[in-house]
């Protein structure tokens, strides 16, 4: 998403934009993968000797709890993971920019000496 944004705008993104792109990307990824994680954790906790494949487990959850059962408890997970990713992307860009500035300042000082 970052590359597409930079290509369309013809300039580097700001940390604020990186924050929102990170949040949006993580929101999308979490909403896609959360049902798998939910069913996988239920299978792990159940461990009642009955071996059940992923497809059967998903079908069982849908049958017993409906499609909402696949997304049970997603609120706190989305909040935690989206904020973590958003701050990570924003701070990474700030850290990168500061590192580039520091290296160029050091190079200029070395050339003057």
SS3 at position 83: helix
In this predicted structure, the answer to whether residue 25 has a pLDDT above a threshold of 80 is: yes
Q: What is the chain's mean pLDDT, rounded?
A: 86
Using pLDDT thresholds of 50, 70 and 90, give the confidence band for residue 13. confident
| Structure tokens given for 9 | 């705008």
In this predicted structure, the answer to whether residue 101 has a pLDDT above a threshold of 80 is: yes
**What DSSP designation does 113 have?**
-
Nearest alpha-carbon partner for 29 in 87, 90, 86, 68: 86
Q: Do 39 and 58 meet the contact criterion of CB atoms below 8 Å apart?
A: yes
**Cα pseudo-dihedral 87, 20, 74, 33, rounded to 10:** -100
Q: Give percent above pLDDT 70 in the chain.
A: 87
Summarize pLDDT for 63-93 with one digit per residue, the tens.
Answer: 999 999 999 999 999 999 999 999 999 999 8
The CA–CA distances, whole Å, from 50 to 43, 44, 45, 46, 47 equal 10, 11, 12, 9, 7
In this predicted structure, the answer to whether residue 95 has a pLDDT above a threshold of 70 is: yes
Nearest alpha-carbon partner for 36 in 53, 49, 24: 53
Q: Do 57 and 43 meet the contact criterion of CB atoms below 8 Å apart?
A: yes
Using pLDDT thresholds of 50, 70 and 90, give the confidence band for residue 24. very high
């Amino acid at each position: 998403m970052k590359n597409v944004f930079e290509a369309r705008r013809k300039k580097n993104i700001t940390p604020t934009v990186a924050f929102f792109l990170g949040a949006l990307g993580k929101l999308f990824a979490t909403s896609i993968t959360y049902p798998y994680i939910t069913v996988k954790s239920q299978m792990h906790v159940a461990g009642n000797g009955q071996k059940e494949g992923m497809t059967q487990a998903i079908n069982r959850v849908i049958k017993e709890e409906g499609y909402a059962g696949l997304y049970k408890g997603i609120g706190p997970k989305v909040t935690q993971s989206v904020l973590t990713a958003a701050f990570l992307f924003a701070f990474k860009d700030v850290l990168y920019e500061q590192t580039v500035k520091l290296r160029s300042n050091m190079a200029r000082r070395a050339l003057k000496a």
